[in-house]
Amino acid sequence: MGRRTRRTRWDWLKDSLATRQESPRWVMSQLHSLTQAAKNDLISPELLPRFQDATGLADFVWRVYYHRRPTGRVQPVPDLLAKAQGYVVFMHGWDGSHAIWEDLPAEVCQANPHLVCLAPDVNGFGGSPFIEAEMPPLELCGPHGDMQAVELWLDLLRLHRPGGQRQAFTFVGHSMSGAALFHKTIRGWEENRYSLLALAPAMLHKDSVMQAFYRALGIGIGAGWQYAILDRFKDHLATRAMELLAADASRAVKKEHDRIFRQTAKGTIAQTFFALGLAEEIPPSRPRDNVYVMLAHRDRLVGLGPTLDLLEEMGMGSQNIQVVMGDHYFFSISRGSRRLHAFNRAELLRHILRLHDERRA
């Protein structure tokens, strides 16, 4: 009986669910799944059950973006990831998927061909459902559980290696995942270079009005599920939620949110709303020199004043914060929001590249 070929760090790249050409020339992307990698023996089979036990997730799906010619010639994909200057991790908010970022990860790879971008489906949505989808544990549905799952995934893929890793990490989180960034683990990352870019972070600790709103949404969906009236209620709620969440976002973002809302287990949606409304876990105190926050002046899901008060209380100053004109999806451009949101998208791209350069230096 022949011996099994020894696994390498980049084996998971060998079997993607789908590969596509992105709109910027030479930028490609691949879709991957943890269960697929484990099934095909591309990661150690005992790692998947450990991940599932810790996160409560049945699977974890992500898209990886890379430039095929960072040095002017086509290179093997494992070499591109191994030799990258850094990794940018895009984390979407509640009721979303990696698709809400549209072309932004590809644009990052186009602007700096030596960066690799990864955009996972997080926290029970998209291709990463909870095992107990109808009633997942509350502690796994909020920002802390979101960040924990992403960090475990990076460790499992061996993208993060403690001890002075050469590549710099930039974490970009929106809404729920923007709040999740403030729960990022420090232990094990002391010698690694990373930065956090939080977009409209749903940190409601100083906002009792929004806390009550999210809790009411969670309770309402839960009651609809319990009394079998959810179908009608969910249709009404989906329409109203889209008005608040993605009012000035592109049509593609609105369609993706509606698709995810309708396919996601109602218990997952209810628990995630309720976890955000509880706002029990106050982000731990830590240095903020590698953190930057972008807020929008007309955000109806994340209150501007209470969020600024909380950030001040957390020790952040004007040098860490930018308030832009727009709504909750201030970086997604629709016909009606082009005047404001096009500038914000360019600013977001600039900040991603700037934070990477600062950490790398």
> What DSSP letter does each residue of 292-321 carry, written as one string?
EEEEETT-SSS-HHHHHHHHHHTT--GGGE
Q: What is the pLDDT of residue 224?
A: 47
Q: What is the pLDDT of residue 213?
A: 74
C-beta separation of 163 from 130 below 8 A: no
Q: What is the pLDDT of residue 9?
A: 87
Q: What is the pLDDT of residue 207?
A: 79
Residue-range domains of the chain with CATH? 11-207+281-360 (3.40.50.1820)
Work out the number of other CB atoms within 10 angstroms of the CB of residue 287.
8
3-class SS string, 60-75: CEEEEEEECCCCCCCC
Residue written as tokens 């973002």? Answer: 253
Q: Residue 48's closest CA among 87, 93, 12?
A: 12
Q: What is the pLDDT of residue 210?
A: 79
Q: What is the pLDDT of residue 239?
A: 61
Q: Which pairing describes strands 61-67 and 115-120: parallel, antiparallel, or unpaired?
A: antiparallel
What is the Cα–Cα distance from 232 to 217, expressed in whole angstroms? Answer: 15
Q: What is the pLDDT of residue 1?
A: 38
What is the Cα–Cα distance from 155 to 89, expressed in whole angstroms? Answer: 13
Q: What is the pLDDT of residue 85?
A: 95
Q: Specify burial of residue 58 (Cβ count, 10 A radius: 0-12, 13-18, 19+).
A: middle
Would you say how long the chain is, in residues? 361
Q: What is the pLDDT of residue 164?
A: 64
Q: What is the pLDDT of residue 24?
A: 93
C-beta separation of 264 from 124 below 8 A: yes
Beta strands in the chain (DSSP E): 18-21, 27-33, 61-67, 86-91, 115-120, 168-174, 194-199, 291-296, 321-324
What is the Cα–Cα distance from 324 to 317, expressed in whole angstroms? Answer: 16
Average pLDDT across each block of 10 residues of the chain; the chain has 361 residues. List them in order: 66 94 96 95 91 97 96 91 96 95 98 98 96 92 94 93 82 96 86 91 85 72 51 59 82 92 87 81 76 95 92 91 97 95 98 95 82
